[in-house]
Amino acid sequence: MVEVVIATKNEKKLRELKRYLKGIKARIVSLNEMGHSPRIKEDSGTFKGNAVKKAGAVSRFTKGIVLADDSGLEVDILGGQPGVMSARFAGNRKKDRDNNSKLLKMLEGIPSKDRSARFVCAIAIADNGKVVKVIEEYCKGRIALSIRGAHGFGYDPLFLIPRYNRTFGELGLKIKDKMSHRSKALKKARKFLRSYFALQS
């Protein structure tokens, strides 16, 4: 069976990626399962740049197929912050709640109508060091006035979907899987991988 390495050590993100890739005829392996892997500095100014860098570097190391994701939140009134710093917004060793608290503090006094934001997901797929596919997807919403809901991770309890007037933290997986930035990108990645595997066989 074909092996696809997911270039992440984030267990929450890995579970989500595995769920979206369900159905492809491949063994999904994480960097944690490999035991050791190259250290990659995510120093690009874009999600796409970081995803491409990670996929290429890990694929050169494994000599096989690697899928890398870089994703995060962009808030319009903050000029696109936290952007590529989404996971480290409050500091390298801080947790989701710290990032959420910092964002809420920066948006204090800003009315709901001016809190537009979007989640961004960039996926890069590489084979033996060569990037063979790049996908970018988005999900638009607003930043809630307070943390709402306990589902998901990252900024999910703050990311409000106006259509439902609920955050991803309140909506849960069933609805999130239909519309999130990562679900849309991974559905395209799954379709590409199926075609790619067929060409290799």
Residues noted as catalytic: 70
Count CB neighbours of 103 within 10 A. Answer: 22
Q: What is the strand order of the sheet 65-75 is part of?
A: 26-30, 2-6, 65-75, 116-127, 130-143, 159-161, 166-167
Distances (CA, A) of 125 to 6, 17, 20, 23: 10, 13, 15, 17
In angstroms, the CA 165 to CA 144 distance is: 9
- Please report how many Cα atoms fall inside a 13 Å half-sphere around the Cα of residue 87, on the Cβ side: 13
SS3 45: coil
